[in-house]
Amino acid sequence: MADRSIRVRVPGTSANLGAGFDTLGLACNLYNELELTLTERPGLSISVEGEGAGRIPEDDRNIVWRSIQLLLERSHHEKEYQGAIIRMKNEVPLSRGLGSSATAIVSGLKAANVIIGNKYNRRELLQLATEIEGHPDNVAPAIFGGFTVSTMKGRHVESFSFLPKIRLRFVVAVPDFFLPTKKAREVLPETVPRADAIFNIGRASMLVAALMKGSAYFLRRSFDDALHQPYRAQLIPGMYDVFRAARAAGALGTVLSGAGPCLISFVEERDEREEAVGEAMREAFEKHGVKAEIKHLGLDTRGAHIVNRNHQA
């Protein structure tokens, strides 16, 4: 067996979308690229360019490498390929709620899967990725692209991906601090009142229906949440003020992106207020002493894909 190389691109994601905690997600047009060479000889070489450089571990704690190892073990290829050269070029900010860990996991699984001859289909990769990440709402859009709805039954995950009938842009405020998902999950209660569950079921359902029908009217009424945002607000100074400012500037709605600290506003494509929404979010954060970079993003519709194929002899 010779060493084999592959390059894949995986979109960043935003999970929850307000009421769809651990369930809904979307893929955006920010990408992490992975160039992977699997080698017969043991040894690991990892380099990171762009977002996360200097912070992402470049040894065997690296999540891309751990995902690759899991796939090689499950497929019984771990003796054939004992080492790797991993080159990451990242656009997705680290630990900010834009799915950086999901892109890392999915890129490792996708690239290794191609090299071993596509033993697993996308649904099987979703299963593996969810096992590693713990919940499906970021890994599903990273794999499939578009908007995704995911359910779990025990450890089994099902996701479907769809493109909305309304063209949207996403205005994301990226605060200049990290918020580990673990910390943002620790503030959540184990159980919730029935009224809060009902509150969210209505909005999550309405959000998906509004996206599929293309109704801006109902979208505007779908973004509130009672299950995670109220508890996480203490970790993100000014969160609700940023929501209000964005809405006043013309956003359809604003939610916490994943576990945060990024906040994401939804704006209709070609709405001339898109710039103003970003500026309002930046200013509202600033009033609370938070510096935020504003990104104007679109929907990724492809999900994880191969960039080029270069099997070395």
Distance CA 251, CA 108 (A): 35
Give min distance, CB of 163 to ligand HSE, in A: 22
State both tokens at 239.
């969160």
State both tokens at 304.
């994880």
15 touches ligand HSE by CB under 6 A: yes
Q: Are the beta carbons of 168 and 269 closer than 8 angstroms?
A: yes
When the beta carbons of 97 and 146 are compared against ligand HSE, the nearer one is 97
16 touches ligand HSE by CB under 6 A: yes
User: Crossing angle for the helix pair 122-133 and 63-74, nearest 10 degrees?
Assistant: 130
State both tokens at 158.
């099902």
Among 72, 259, 284, 297, binds ligand HSE (CB under 6 A): 259
User: Which part of the chain contacts ligand HSE (CB under 6 A), choosing from 28-36, 63-71, 139-147, 181-189?
Assistant: 181-189
Tokens 């704006």 sit on residue:
267
Strand, coil or helix: what is 83?
strand
Distance CA 109, CA 262 (A): 26
Give min distance, CB of 161 to ligand HSE, in A: 17
Q: Which amino acid is at 253?
A: G
* Contacting ligand HSE within 58-117 (CB under 6 A): none
Torsional class of 289: left (φ above 0), alpha (ψ -120 to 50), beta (otherwise): left
Among 108, 164, 238, 258, binds ligand HSE (CB under 6 A): 258
Among 90, 138, 148, 161, binds ligand HSE (CB under 6 A): 138
Cis (ω within 30 of 0) for the bond into 261? yes
**φ and ψ at residue 38, rounded to 5 degrees:** -95, 135
141 touches ligand HSE by CB under 6 A: no
Q: How many residues interact with ligand HSE (rule CB under 6 A)? A: 13
35 touches ligand HSE by CB under 6 A: no
When the beta carbons of 253 and 258 are compared against ligand HSE, the nearer one is 258
When the beta carbons of 110 and 232 are compared against ligand HSE, the nearer one is 232
Among 35, 51, 91, 137, binds ligand HSE (CB under 6 A): 137
What residue ranges bind ligand HSE (CB under 6 A)? 15-16, 21-22, 135, 137-138, 181, 184-185, 228, 258-259
